[in-house]
Amino acid sequence: MFPPQPPSLPPDEPDTQPVPPPPPHPVKVLSATGLAVVLACLSMLGPFSIDTYLPAFPDIQASLRASPLEVQQTLTAYMLAFSGMVLWHGSISDAFGRRNVILISLVVFAIGTLGCASAYTVHYLWVFRILQGVSAGAGVVVGRAIIRDLYHGAPAARLLSMVTMIFSIAPAVAPILGGWVVKFTNWRVIFLLLLAYTIVLFWVCWRRLPETLPQEKRQPFNPRFLWHSYSTIFRSPLFHMKAGLVACNFAGLFVYITAAPVMLPQSLHLGPDQFGWLFIPAVSGIFFGALLANRLAGHTPIQTQIRLGFVCMLSAAAANVLFHALHAPALPWTVAPLFFYTFGMSIVAPGATLLALDLFPHIRGTVASAQSSASTLLAAVVAGVIAPALSHSVLLLSIGQLVFALAGVGLWIASRHYKRRTEPGLPG
């Protein structure tokens, strides 16, 4: 950890205006709302890559003559590639600029998406899903760094929550759209629609997304500096605690998302065009939780927001376990707790994310990469190991969610105690 470690921004820091960077490209600088929309659309590549094709698993299995496990591994391959490459998006953007990384990643993602649409064996699908995975995370990682380049304190938290609100549209729409596509056409059309979305997004970013990291603030991209940066981050107990609590919170939701292709048909007897029963409550919670976080930013201390979010999450997860311990799965009770879980998750996320980014402000892109990698790596384990083991029982899924929520709370409490012990007087 770099001495001295910079304190987190105080929750009552007055609003500061964005510092407009001198963009080297002839683009019109976006307003805060316009920037939030563009960054949210970039972040949507992830859920569109995952949630849209979940209802198509049986169709892919039949079309490519693959086993259910081989089709499931297309998701695992994507998640592992995502988690591996997301470690580098931020450090590359710290060295070569935010805009360049986003534009190149969109080109790579478009190539991978076209390959998925034309794959004729499941093994080719694995390869092109990996290509999607190595490029899809740039928007999430670099987007956080862009926000922190331009805004500080409450404005940064508000913009981050605004991005989350807009982003929440994707997980709600994606599985429903995928289910209808499978019902009326075939699974390849899902990837062709995703390709069209990527092309439009590239054009918008080329025309309107400015460079927010001036040349004089860029970091060297060489093995010695990268080793020093990453080793400093990964040696920080506070980073692991704050990044880990966000990862555990998301894993509590992701275990349901990745179990959906098995759990919804078997336990709730729903068809591929009825995945909205799971995703709409979950995404509604994300939206309204982000909305509340946006309103609380600058008025309520970050620590109070995080405590409120964890109360909602733990209450929802415990109620879910209790219901399924006493009753068989049934609509709407099986899916209703997901609204309150994701509501709390979205209240926790902005503050916890900013606290982690502020640990090392001179390499925020690298920190954002490491943070996203932690979340995605845990999500890959959930998709490849935990969800398949729990998906046949809704009670086991609810217990898994509660365990992840408790782990998140434990990491938050541990980070607070560690901060007080090592740096007395500073906010945790």
Classify burial at 416, counting beta carbons within 10 Å of its beta carbon; exposed 0-12, middle 13-18, buried 19 or more. middle
The amino acid occupying position 202 is F
Of the ranges 73-77, 110-114, 296-300, the best mean pLDDT one: 110-114
What does the pLDDT look like over 155-207, one tens digit per residue? 777 777 778 777 777 777 787 788 888 888 888 999 999 999 999 999 999 98
The pLDDT value recorded for residue 216 is: 74
Joined together, the tokens standing for residue 221 give: 């991209």
End-to-end CA distance of the chain: 16
d(CA 407, CA 395): 19
d(CA 390, CA 386): 6
The answer on pLDDT for 313 being more than 50 is yes
Judge contact between 420 and 413, C-beta under 8 A.
no
DSSP SS3 for 77: helix
- Number of Cβ within 10 Å of residue 389's Cβ equals 12
Which runs of consecutive H residues, i.e. helices, occur in 137-236?
138-150, 153-167, 169-184, 188-208, 223-234
- Number of Cβ within 10 Å of residue 354's Cβ equals 22
Q: Which residue has the higher pLDDT, 370 or 409?
A: 409
Strands (DSSP E) along 372-423, which ranges?
Answer: none
What does the pLDDT look like over 329-369, one tens digit per residue? 888 888 889 999 999 998 888 778 777 777 777 776 677 77
Judge contact between 397 and 391, C-beta under 8 A.
yes
Q: 125 to each of 120, 169, 184, 190, 197, how far by Cα in Å?
A: 8, 26, 22, 13, 20
Range 372-378 average pLDDT: 79
Judge contact between 99 and 375, C-beta under 8 A.
no
The set of residues, in sequence order, having a beta carbon less than 8 Å from that of 308 and lying 6+ positions away, is: 344, 347
Nearest residue to 161 (alpha-carbon basis) of 348, 12, 34: 348
Identify the structural domains of the chain with CATH numbers, from first to last. 32-422 (1.20.1250.20)
d(CA 329, CA 239): 38
The pLDDT value recorded for residue 2 is: 37
What value does the CA radius of gyration of the chain take, rounded to a whole number of Å? 21
Where residue 25 falls among pLDDT bands split at 50, 70, 90? very low
The pLDDT value recorded for residue 320 is: 92
d(CA 157, CA 153): 6
The amino acid occupying position 215 is Q
Q: What percent of the chain is modeled with pLDDT above 90?
A: 18
d(CA 242, CA 412): 7
DSSP for 323-356, please give it.
HHHHS---TTTTTHHHHHHHHHHHHHHHHHHHHH
d(CA 105, CA 101): 6
Joined together, the tokens standing for residue 324 give: 């399924």
d(CA 302, CA 356): 12
Range 210-235 average pLDDT: 78
